[in-house]
Amino acid sequence: MPTALITGATAGLGAAFARRLAAEAFSLVLVARDEARLAESAGQLKLRYGVDVETLPADLTTDEGLAAVEARVRQGVDLLVNNAGFGHHGRFPDVPAADEVRMLKLHCEAVLRLTLAALPGMRERERGAIVNVASVAAFFSRGTYSASKAWVVNFSESAAADIGDPRIKIMALCPGFVRTEFHQRAGMDTAGIPGFLWLKADDVVREGLRDLALGKRVSVPDVRYKTIVALGRLVPRGLQHYVSSRIGR
């Protein structure tokens, strides 16, 4: 039975990945900060899908938490989903530097280190996959959040090219606005976001895993966001920034 480790696994896209992979008979390792919520999620998944579920409470913005998850990844996983992330409601440079550094540690350092921890075992077994959750924001200029997600996209493409083995897949998943707790936790006002731009987490995960199976290195779920990204490459950067500022991250 294959094993998947998912960070940020108790809500939003992480929980959707857990449900989908459990339905596909993966054993799960769920990583999140909230130990009680992890236990609740694990119990529900075991009851519904009959799979093995391991929980690992850890804060990936701390050295101790990141080291603990690295150690578990080195024990062997078939699929690593680097999903944990957060946003700021403030704009650069008003956000405190310490908060910006926490974001970079989670979005960049954790993705780098967990990927490096997973790859030796995958190369030895000659199979495996890594999904690094980025964002459509990666293709637009919007503060440290979009900059960190742009790094995730570039890193994922570069790592996949450097590994050069089609049996080991590395992909950046770049969703748009998804109905999750993300914006509420960040204190962001989403009232101005048009309804047609919202996606369902389960749909994003389904399309992302399909693209992973197809060997894509970057996945932008939904034709609406594929169109937005394509158009964004055609308009001046200044106009991109204006639209992004008006609509939100």
Q: Active-site residue numbers?
A: 145
Neighbours of 142 (CB within 10 A): 23
Under DSSP, is residue 173 helix (H, G, I), strand (E, B) or coil? strand
Which residues make beta-bridge pairs with 93? none
Instruction: Name the one residue in this structure whose structure tokens are 């960049």.
Output: 108
Strand partners, 131: 81, 171
* Three-class secondary structure of residue 80 per DSSP: strand
- The β-bridge partners of 54 are 29
* Closest by Cα among 144, 240, 242 to 186: 144
Give the separation between CA 212 and CA 28, rounded to whole angstroms: 18
Alpha carbons 249 and 235: distance in angstroms, whole number: 18
Single out the residue of 155, 19, 29, 132 nearest to residue 83, CA to CA: 132
Distance from C-alpha of 186 to C-alpha of 183, rounded to nearest angstrom: 5
CB 186 within 8 A of CB 87: yes
User: Measured between alpha carbons, how far is 215 from 42 in angstroms, rounded to an integer?
Assistant: 30
Beta bridge partners of 53: 28
